[in-house]
Structure 1
Amino acid sequence: MPGHRIFTTAFAKVYPLYVRKAEAKGRTPAEVDQVICWLTGYDEVGLRRQLDVAADFETFFAQAPALHPNTALIKGVVCGVRVEAVDDPLMQQIRWLDKLVDELAKGRAMEKILRG
């Protein structure tokens, strides 16, 4: 069964949308990066490298140094879908990222977004 279209979408195409969504609510690109790095284990250099090579979401998450151990604490609804109920592991990782960016855009405190 072929994967969802988002799997082969370049992360670099979606990244500016994450930033724009956050900036529209007064958050910064650095905060978006912090959330992405928290989730994936990338450092700033690794994140930039993934953006530069236009890695697709599948590659972006496959090459992530280490998903944060608190990802199980990411709960809620994104696009009408409960993130904790998503069966496909890659789709769940993408939904986790969407949820974190949503929380950032909604003004949630960074320590809560990062499940601290």
Structure 2
Amino acid sequence: MSDIIVTTTDGLDGRAATEYLGVVSGEAVIGANVVSDIAAGIRDIVGGRSGSYEKKIATGRQEALADIRAEARELGADAVVGATFDYEEMGEGMLWVNLSGTAVTTRRE
């Protein structure tokens, strides 16, 4: 089976949903180390973007995408529609990334 398509839209152009298989989700908890925290704090004071945090958030998104694709694949889906990311601070230096959507099977129209 090819890779699972994950989209924020309610459907896929040129494809019709043939079966809704249920809500699926992927999660990642990411943390920053002391060096990253210090560097980010300095950037907050002097301005600029925190590249180390941006990389960690991107890693969290990729982990959540991998998880949701695996869960959808187990259900026999070929796509996840209506996907949304949610980010929550869990504590000092910890970020929770959640991605959820609806697993579906599709056919070409």
Quick check: TM above 0.5?
Answer: no
Which fold has the larger relative contact order, with Cα–Cα distance below 8 Å and residues 6 or more apart in sequence? 2
Query: Computing the radius of gyration over CA atoms, which structure comes out larger, 1 or 2?
Result: 2
Q: Which has the higher strand share?
A: 2
